[in-house]
Structure 1
Amino acid sequence: MSIDWLTAPCAQPDAALAEAAHAHQSQLTKPPGSLGMLEALAIQLASLQRTAQPAVDRVWISVFAGDHGVADEGVSAFPQVVTGEMVRNFATGGAAISVLARSLGADLEVVNLGTVNDPGEIPSVRRAIIAPSTANFCLGPAMTMTQLETALAVGAESVRTAKASGAQLFIGGEMGIANTTSAAALASALLNEPPSTLAGAGTGLNAAGVMHKVTVLERALALHVGATTPLEQLRCLGGFEIAALVGAYIAAAQSGIPVLVDGFITTTAALAAVTMRPDLRPWLLFAHRSKEHGHARLLRALDAESVLDLGLRLGEASGAATAVPLLRLACALHNGMATFAQAGVSTA
């Protein structure tokens, strides 16, 4: 397997359409800028979708699940068997993202990259098993190079399926006990910052639990200090689902599909992807500011403004799905409002 595809150029946003969309917004029956981020979202989507009438009617959500060897260090408030159990819950419609996807009329794909508690064959789950979990990155690299290449390719495959379905927006989600630990480790390495600035409560750790988590992260970062490229940092400290998200984001930008990024873990994947491919950044929209401790720092690193701030920290792509109605409204306002001339309203 090769990762040469990672270097293929990303699609270019249409600057002329962005300018035209901005000009159109200035002619609508409202004071300029009075709809705030709703205007900016419509303009960005017009540029990315290369159309004067942007839309996010067809939404594709891929939730990638994978377990983490670092769970052996006692960094989660939940047992590792929950990952496999939640894969089944996603597939049978009982999880938050399942409810949200149904409400949005979105396509929901569940991808199992490897869980300690394997739920087996489930008709609506894509099995892309790499291993029951990553290795404990306190003892060695989380993944082999082959495993990393496979996980990246799994994410890219999801985007190809989304594109074939006519998706206008791609959302990536994740599930994996201990994955906030993996994300904090990766973010710390990418930003060259101490883990205390990025590690949070995850599934609900108390203050002592967070302190233990930071200690675990410090051990891991010391062990992998020689990993100096984003790809090696992802291999040594990431997870299967985080790598799949990185692959999906790069493939989406290459394919010309806008991405709506969810919370802390998916934003860590976005940071890794942008560090590898800076031309990816224009394709990312950011759904919400998670309550997870390090998320605000990641958003600043990406110069990103989130659509929502609701205190969410569930993951699964739930925050991104929650923001979709606002993107749809932004498009509806852009496409449906009358101009001053059409409405016969005087301008200043």
Structure 2
Amino acid sequence: MSDTIFPVSSFAELRGRLARLPEASTASAAAARRRQDDLTKPPGSLGRLEELAVFMAGWQGNARPAIGRAQAVVFAGNHGICAQRVNPFPQEVTAQMVENFRAGGAAINQLCRASGAELSVVALDLDRPTGDFTQGPAMTEAEVLDAMARGAAALDPRADILLLGEMGIGNSTVAAALARASFGGDGWDWVGPGTGSDPDGIARKVEAIEAGVALHAGVLGDPLAVLAAFGGREQAAICGALLAARARRVPVILDGFICTASAAVLHPLGTGVLDHCLVGHASAEPGHRRLLSAIEKRALLDLGMRLGEGSGAAVALGVLRAALEAHNGMATFAEAGISGA
């Protein structure tokens, strides 16, 4: 297929393109696996580092994969669901944090510098929040597709790996709503404190989510319609960016609960749409582990983080780099002159 997915004019057209996504190279992955088994160590002794090297080889189509350019993108949006008092901080904080990212003062700036990723921030119509999903759809089909296309456009075609993160006051409620609508349960299964909600605030989140699910019951089971009903522009942009990366066979590291919930909306499409995605860390948000189980992913790290911003993805990039250093830099038994292997 083409190395681009967007623009598309309708959900129907997008579904057709998702049925023809490129796959990883099984030959390159197998060659990387053989190399791992020939390196000067007991087979399997580097655990998931070996799996990561094989994963990268498959998506890069190269038995000796490398990360020359790592790109991190934080998408930011505002949400109408804040009318239901689900957010302990005012929505003005979204724009203020965007400026902090751009000035280099946030956690993600430091973590990207440490892990060797180039950070960009994409603010999505912060002066125009999405709709309140307890009153109607959060977005129209056209608004979803526009945000997805803007997410796709953010991908650097030179990137060897894409890290995704988000910022948006109220978007932990949006994430929990997307998870609830996509994978069932009830609001209490998915809701957490987010940026610091107290028990009353958590109860308001659950109430809002259940009201939204009741209102939009007719679209449950249709992933793209669920994204329109409950999602935010940054959630749609994350989907667009990861799809653009898949079209170019660029691996992706998702951040924590909110980022994973954004991507997981696409999982029920059943096209292996998230096969090129790693999850950087297991968030302290209580719904994240349940969500990882639903999409059959294992997080790389478990550090008790729940910041967002792509922070867990940036830390995980260091682990991925270590995996490739070992894969490419170690000697084989033959090269080292070690016998009896």
Instruction: Give the aligned partner of residue 23 of structure 1.
Output: 34
Q: Which amino acid aligns with 1:187?
A: A
1:95 aligns with 2:99: no
1:10 and 1:255 in contact (8 A); partners too? no
1:261 aligns with 2:263: no
CA deviation vs aligned residue, 1:288-326 (integer Å, no higher than 9, x gap): 100011100111111111110000101110100011111
Instruction: Give the aligned partner of residue 184 of structure 1.
Output: 176
Pairwise CA distance, 1:5: 4.7
* TM-score between both structures, scaled by the size of structure 1: 0.91
1:36 aligns with 2:30: no
1:280 aligns with 2:239: no
* TM-score between both structures, scaled by the size of structure 2: 0.93
1:57-206 aligned at under 5 Å gives the runs 57-116=68-127, 132-159=128-155, 162-163=156-157, 166-206=158-198
**Secondary structure at 2:328's aligned position in 1?**
helix
1:66 and 1:115 in contact (8 A); partners too? yes
Count of residues in Structure 1 that have an aligned counterpart in Structure 2? 329
Q: Give the whole-Å Cα distance in 1 for the aligned partners of 2:68 and 2:14.
A: 29
2:224 and 2:266 in contact (8 A); partners too? no
CA deviation vs aligned residue, 1:13-47 (integer Å, no higher than 9, x gap): 00011111111111111111110000000000001
1:292 aligns with 2:301: no
Q: Give the whole-Å Cα distance in 2 for the aligned partners of 1:105 and 1:305.
A: 23
**Secondary structure at 1:204's aligned position in 2?**
coil
Q: Give the whole-Å Cα distance in 2 for the aligned partners of 1:347 and 1:141.
A: 65
1:183-262 aligned at under 5 Å gives the runs 183-228=175-220, 229-262=222-255
**Secondary structure at 1:270's aligned position in 2?**
helix
Q: Which amino acid aligns with 1:113?
A: L
Percent identical pairs in the alignment equals 45
- Among 324, 334, 338, the alignment partner of 1:341 is 334
Q: Give the whole-Å Cα distance in 2 for the aligned partners of 1:153 and 1:6.
A: 15
Pairwise CA distance, 1:277: 5.5
- Among 7, 16, 19, the alignment partner of 1:7 is 16
Moved more, 309-318 or 49-58: 49-58
Q: Give the whole-Å Cα distance in 2 for the aligned partners of 1:56 and 1:242.
A: 26
Q: Which amino acid aligns with 1:102?
A: R
Two-structure CA RMSD over aligned residues (Å): 1.4
Which blocks of at least 5 consecutive residues in structure 1 are unaligned?
117-131
Q: Give the whole-Å Cα distance in 1 for the aligned partners of 2:80 and 2:116.
A: 35
CA deviation vs aligned residue, 1:71-124 (integer Å, no higher than 9, x gap): 1111112111100101111111111112222333322111111224xxxxxxxx
**Secondary structure at 2:32's aligned position in 1?**
helix
**Secondary structure at 1:61's aligned position in 2?**
strand
